[in-house]
Amino acid sequence: MRKLLLLLIVPLFIFGARPDFKEGVSLYNQGAYWEALRVFAELADEEVSLNPQRSASSYMRIRCYNKLGFGQRALMLARDFPISYPGSDYLDDLEYLLGEIHLDLGDAREAAWYFASSAITSKDKKIRKAAREFAESLVGTACDQDDLRALAGRSIDRTGQYVALLVAERFLKDGNRGESISILFNMRPYIKDDDLRKKAISLYDEFGSSQTDTLHIAVVLPLTGPLGEIGGTMLDGIKFSAMNFMDSTDQGVELHIYDNESKLSETISIARQVRDDPRVIAQIGPLTNENVKGTSAVLEGHSIPIIVPTATENHLTNLSKGIFQFRSTRERKAIAMAEYAVQILGLETFAIIAPSTEYGQQFADNFALRVDELGGIIQYQGWYVGEPTDLSRVHFRRIREQGLEELYTKFQADSLRLDSLLIGMITEGDSVNAYEEQLNPIFKKSRPTRGDSLGVELSHIDGIFFPIHEGNMRYILYQLASNNLNTHILGDENWLDKDILKKDASYITDLTIVAGDRLGFETISPSFSNEYVRIFKHRPDQYDFMGYDVMGMLLEAAQYAGGSGNKLWEAMINSPNYEGLIHQVQWGGATRRENDLVFLMDYVENSFELTGYYDNSGFFSMDSLETDSLDTESPSEIE
3-class SS string, 411-444: HHCCCCCHHHHHCCCCCHHHCCCHHHHHHHHHEE
How confident is the model at residue 3, as a pLDDT? Answer: 38
Which residues of the chain are under the pLDDT cut of 50?
Answer: 1-16, 209-211, 418, 421, 423-431, 445-446, 448, 624-634
Residue 169 belongs to domain spanning: 2-207
Q: How far, in Å, CA of 434 to CA of 411, rounded?
A: 8
Residues 180 and 262 grouped into a single domain? no
Other CB atoms within a 10 A radius of the CB of residue 564 amount to: 18
Q: How far, in Å, CA of 82 to CA of 95, rounded?
A: 10
What letters, b where the CB count within 10 A reaches 16 and e where it falls short, cover 332-366?
A: bbbbbbbbbbbeebebbbbbbbbbebebbebbbbb
Residues 188 and 271 grouped into a single domain? no
How confident is the model at residue 209, as a pLDDT? Answer: 47
Is residue 582 in some structural domain?
no
Alpha-carbon distances of 23 from 13, 59, 97, 109, 274, rounded to whole Å: 17, 15, 21, 35, 78
The last residue of one of the domains, among 510, 537, 557, is 510
Alpha helices by DSSP H, listed for 30-157, are 33-44, 54-67, 71-84, 91-104, 108-121, 125-137, 145-152
Amino acid in position 452: D
Q: How far, in Å, CA of 511 to CA of 493, rounded?
A: 12
Residues 245 and 365 grouped into a single domain? no
How confident is the model at residue 49, as a pLDDT? Answer: 61
Residues 174 and 288 grouped into a single domain? no
Count: domains in the chain:
3
Residues 364 and 480 grouped into a single domain? yes
Residues 23 and 74 grouped into a single domain? yes
DSSP 581: S
610 strand-pairing partners: 601
Is residue 638 in some structural domain?
no
Residues 357 and 274 grouped into a single domain? no
Is residue 467 in some structural domain?
yes
Residues 246 and 306 grouped into a single domain? yes
Of the candidates 614, 563, 532, the residue with the CA atom closest to the CA atom of residue 332: 614
Is residue 237 in some structural domain?
yes
Alpha-carbon distances of 19 from 37, 56, 261, 384, 554, rounded to whole Å: 11, 14, 89, 93, 66
Residue 437 CA to chain centroid, in angstroms? 49
**Structural contact between residues 464 and 353, judged by C-beta atoms closer than 8 angstroms:** yes
Residues 94 and 131 grouped into a single domain? yes
How confident is the model at residue 490, as a pLDDT? Answer: 92
Residues 230 and 199 grouped into a single domain? no
As a residue count, the chain comes to: 639
Of the candidates 480, 570, 515, 577, the residue with the CA atom closest to the CA atom of residue 189: 577
What letters, b where the CB count within 10 A reaches 16 and e where it falls short, cover 146-164?
A: ebbeebbebeeebbbbbbb
Per-residue pLDDT tens digits for 352-365: 989 999 999 999 99
